[in-house]
Structure 1
Amino acid sequence: MGCVQRTVKRLFDIVFSLAGMIILSPVYLVIAIMLKRQKNGPAIFSQERIGYRGKPFTIYKFRTMSEPEKEPQLVAKSSIGQSTKTELFLREHHLDELPQLWNVLKGDMSFVGPRPERRFYIDKIMANDPSYVLIYEMRPGLTSEATLYNGYTDTMEKMLIRLHMDTDYLKRRSLALDASIIAKTFISIVSGKKF
């Protein structure tokens, strides 16, 4: 992806993340009220992730798991099992990630790019495949081909598949490919199904 395409991509991120936050503000409010009524604590949680050039940043999500940031190795077994129907619906349709439009606007993330990961998991992935370092060449994204294929990665096998798909995207990335991924993501959000 050349300099002009990267500039266009960034302009797209700024314009559509800002527009999205404004248009979807009623949805944000409804989701926040629903989550607050079901459980104590904040509707949105923040968590450190590793992004572009290996720099940490704070990511924002609607809280649909029980304390996922404290013991990441237990997330798949404990937190998801305690989720309410509302929380499961939000995750199934990726609505829990709407607050990340703020991350896109700030420049921490892009609409399309590899999913940002926690240091805990990066260390484990790197021990299996050091090519993860290539991920640092891109801004992390709200969606990607790997996310559409894999959904939530709860095993090392899935994490390595996602890594290989993300490094393949690095070689092929273009505005046309990004547009295709965004279109498929919209279909996935509406249908709740993976590709």
Structure 2
Amino acid sequence: MSRIGKKNILLPDKVSVIIKDHTVTVRGPKGELSRIFPDSINVGLATKHLHITQTIISKKSNQLHGLSRTMLYNMVNGVSSGFTKSLEIQGVGYRSQMEGKSLILNLGYSHPVKIDPPEGIIITVENNVNINIMGIDKELVGEVAANIRSIRSPEPYKGKGVRYSNEYVQRKVGKAGKGK
């Protein structure tokens, strides 16, 4: 049994949960999220908290126990406060800008790269080099941030590219010149 799966999830004020069969819907001030949980996982609702139990004890349900609790916690946290990922662009001439809801990236390619955010994701740009991705679904926010980063991931020699705000890029030593 998972240690994480045993922990209860406290429900903040203004957050409501509806459980129907194995579908859990969480509503809050920021929006609504819904997810279908496996048959081996049972979600229970008490007065001010949620708890997750296993209906079948097997290796697979043990693996899903902690994962299901974490996904449910992220749903509750997302509809109450939301999630944010921050990216920064480093490199001479690299910049970003917003055009309507679309993000335009100039990252040294022969053409600008245009990214249309999926529904539920808000992208903002500060100082042409700082990009903030906000939304209520942690999985989707992380996926959009990873896709933007993969367009020009940081290279190890000069550190140019798109990186997470708290990311450390380990540098390599460049090619040594010929000695006499």
What TM-score do you get using the length of structure 1 for normalisation?
A: 0.26
Higher relative contact order (CA closer than 8 Å, sequence separation 6+): 1
Higher strand share: 2
Higher helix share: 1
Task: Kindly name which structure, 1 or 2, has the bigger radius of gyration based on alpha carbons.
Answer: 2
What TM-score do you get using the length of structure 2 for normalisation?
A: 0.28
